[in-house]
Chain A
Amino acid sequence: MKITGLLMMPAGWFIVLAALVLLRSVRAQILFIAAGIGVEILGLVLFTRAHGLAKRGNE
């Protein structure tokens, strides 16, 4: 889960970059940038939860 979360953060960033490079309409850019940030946040949540679970496991 930790690695998945860690990889999802740059994946979301690449979606943001792709929106800049490939899309011309501002509305489409906004949608894709929002989607990319959503993926980043999901990765961050997964990563944080993985750390929390690992900590509890150690205790």
Chain B
Amino acid sequence: MSPQSPPAMSEVSQALCILLILLVPLALAGLALINNGLSRLRSAAHSMMATLCVVGVAAVAYFVTGFAWQGYPGLASYTLSIFGKEWSWLGAGHFFFRGVPLDGSPASLAALLQLLSVGLAGLIPLGAAAERWRLRACCLSTALLAGITYPLFAHWVWGGGWLARLGENYGLGLGFLDAGGSSTIQAVGGLTALSLVWLLGPRRGKYNLEGMPAALPGHNTVYVLFGCLLALVGWMGLNSAGSVLFAGAPPGRTVLVAVNTLLSAAGAVLAAAAITRYRFGKPDASLSANGWVCGLVASSAGCAWIPPAAALLIGLVAGALVTYTVAWMEVHLALDDPAGAISVHALGGIWGILAVGLFPRAAAVAVTPHAANTAVMPSPQILAQVVGVATLVGFVLPFTYSLNWLLNRFFPQRIPPEEERQGADLYELGAGAYPEFQTHTDEFSQW
């Protein structure tokens, strides 16, 4: 075990950080509304109930084991010595937050932020597995994500782990950089969503016998679009608090973070709206909303360092990326993802991570905040970012798939076919979200 020196933080930073962290629940609310609006009416209440369960289970699991294993720079961790280099691979804290003084210290603020952001990560699979994921399985799967997968990877990035120290140990730029969680929150959640979509299979009636997908539109576009606005506020808090706590940004830098977050989302939604207008004749509200969130996701990694013009460019690419990949995954890979969570969070997160390495000024600012234009890159930052992406694909994806596969062996995660036809609301909760309305017609009769 090797403790490292804790980062210093002024009282102004602490106060600002607390305020910013208190905005993060709005990101959860936004994502919950988006997931809910994109699912069908027959599962609307189930979707919101599952949201509460996921956020609750994630917070408890993170409280029990998560923070102990994630750790924070300055707290103890397990390390391996490989050819004389220290590889910190797991936090060595105590369970149940023991030993973490909840007094406004950087570690305690990180713990508070993580209690919320781990819930955000848990909501991502919920959108992808909507309408066919049992409530019990969804709670158990979230416990595995929040208690094991998330803290393990977050330690490597935010807890002073080996990815964060790639620069120090191997001269790869400044080590893996991710201020707001494009990798730790978004990509980890997105890859878990991919695992679950593989394991659960598509919704009944989504594909016909020839394998062609049918459109199963969500039940409330207004929820989806309003959710996007809520998510923006939450993301500003998340990115800003992450920048202060994990990237050592001074309080004044939160202005840059907020500008970058907004510009990235703006670029993404405009790109998505323009592309869908060009492809389909009219802008597609659902894909534009996906573009907006993808812009937010992609902004997170580099928000503390990149110039605003780069953030706008990152958003434009994210918006274009999501419009094409959502349809491509649905048609060519037979991935039934009602909320587009895999494209938005996994691919958007990976794009955000790589973008940090594509803008050399990002790393330069990290070295010398006031002399960004004159700072010289020590070695390719992109290489450190690529190693992070390789870790996500080569470790996190097989790991989270295996955990969920094991869970599925003991507790089948999918709702039975007949009950799925009735809707998850009736099967799991015994009542629909809107009992006074006809909730659905039977579109399964032809298949």
Whether the Cβ atoms of B334 and A12 lie closer than 8 Å is: no
Whether the Cβ atoms of A59 and B209 lie closer than 8 Å is: yes
Given A6-B401, A52-B334, A16 contacting B209 (CB threshold 8 A): no
Contacts of B83 in A (CB 8 A): 21-22
Interface residue tally of chain A, by bracket? Answer: 20 to 34
Whether the Cβ atoms of A20 and B398 lie closer than 8 Å is: no
Contacts of A59 in B (CB 8 A): 209, 211
Whether the Cβ atoms of A44 and B393 lie closer than 8 Å is: yes
B4 within 8 A of partner (CB): no
Q: Which residue of A lies closest to B202 (CB)?
A: A55
Interface residue tally of chain B, by bracket? Answer: 20 to 34
A1 within 8 A of partner (CB): no
Whether the Cβ atoms of B198 and A40 lie closer than 8 Å is: no
Whether the Cβ atoms of B379 and A26 lie closer than 8 Å is: yes
Contacts of A6 in B (CB 8 A): 398, 401-402
Contact residues of B between 243 and 271, Cβ < 8 Å to A: none
Chain B interface helix/strand/loop/mixed: helix
Whether the Cβ atoms of B394 and A52 lie closer than 8 Å is: no
Tell me, in angstroms, the Cα distance from A59 to B209 when the chains sit together.
Answer: 7
Q: Which residue of A lies closest to B332 (CB)?
A: A52
Whether the Cβ atoms of B334 and A29 lie closer than 8 Å is: no
Contact residues of B between 389 and 429, Cβ < 8 Å to A: 389-391, 393-395, 397-398, 401-402
Whether the Cβ atoms of B170 and A56 lie closer than 8 Å is: no
Contacts of B198 in A (CB 8 A): 51
- Among B379, B386, B395, point to the contact of A37 (Cβ < 8 A): B386
Tell me, in angstroms, the Cα distance from A20 to B397 when the chains sit together.
Answer: 21
Whether the Cβ atoms of B170 and A12 lie closer than 8 Å is: no
B12 within 8 A of partner (CB): no
Given A20-B166, A52-B334, A36 contacting B394 (CB threshold 8 A): yes
- Among B334, B383, B394, point to the contact of A30 (Cβ < 8 A): B383
Contact residues of B between 196 and 219, Cβ < 8 Å to A: 198, 201-202, 209, 211
- Among A7, A20, A33, A56, point to the contact of B211 (Cβ < 8 A): A56
B380 within 8 A of partner (CB): yes
Tell me, in angstroms, the Cα distance from A26 to B173 when the chains sit together.
Answer: 12
Whether the Cβ atoms of A12 and B82 lie closer than 8 Å is: no
Whether the Cβ atoms of B170 and A10 lie closer than 8 Å is: no
Q: Which residue of A lies closest to B170 (CB)?
A: A20
Tell me, in angstroms, the Cα distance from A26 to B83 when the chains sit together.
Answer: 18
Contact residues of A between 1 and 59, Cβ < 8 Å to B: 6-7, 9-14, 16, 20-22, 26, 29-30, 33, 36-37, 40-41, 44, 48, 51-52, 55-56, 58-59
Contacts of B431 in A (CB 8 A): none
What are 27 pairs between A and B in contact, CB < 8 Å? A6-B398, A7-B398, A9-B394, A9-B395, A10-B398, A12-B390, A12-B393, A13-B390, A13-B393, A14-B394, A16-B387, A16-B390, A16-B391, A20-B170, A20-B387, A21-B82, A21-B83, A26-B379, A26-B383, A33-B386, A36-B394, A37-B393, A40-B394, A41-B393, A44-B397, A55-B334, A58-B201
Question: What is the interface of chain A, defined by CB distance below 8 A to chain B?
Answer: 6-7, 9-14, 16, 20-22, 26, 29-30, 33, 36-37, 40-41, 44, 48, 51-52, 55-56, 58-59
